[in-house]
Amino acid sequence: MTDQIVLPRLIGTREAAIKLVDSSELPENLHERPVFLQSRALATSTISFADELVKQLKKRRAGSVVLFAANSEFWKQISDAAARQGDLTVRAGSPSDLYV
């Protein structure tokens, strides 16, 4: 997995989403590749964070979001944000994704 973001324990603001994406090693143009979100440590998130994260990933032309170890709340937040903004699919990560 090359295009990934490891989410911290607590995330809550639009500014945090921008900072997280900007500080990641994601290229400016992902050319429709998936972005892997490692959310094992995540305990609390907000809808505004999810909305901004999806917006930032779309801005970098991500093809999809692949969630690893997402709790049901974060899964819903990201899925809903992607549905509202369109053109970004969300799916659960699988063991085969670890070797992409």
Q: Phi and psi dihedrals of 42, rounded to 5?
A: -65, 125
**What is the C-alpha to C-alpha distance for residues 58 and 97, in angstroms, rounded to an integer?**
20
Return the CATH number at 82. Answer: 3.30.750
Domain that holds residue 86: 4-99
For the whole model, what pTM was predicted? 0.91
Return the H-helix or E-strand segment holding 90: strand 89-92
Return the H-helix or E-strand segment holding 92: strand 89-92
33-55 pLDDT, tens digit per residue, is 999 999 999 999 999 999 999 99
Return the minimum-mean-pLDDT range out of 63-67, 70-74, 96-100. 96-100
Strand order in the sheet with 64-68: 4-6, 34-38, 64-68, 89-92
pLDDT of residue 27: 95
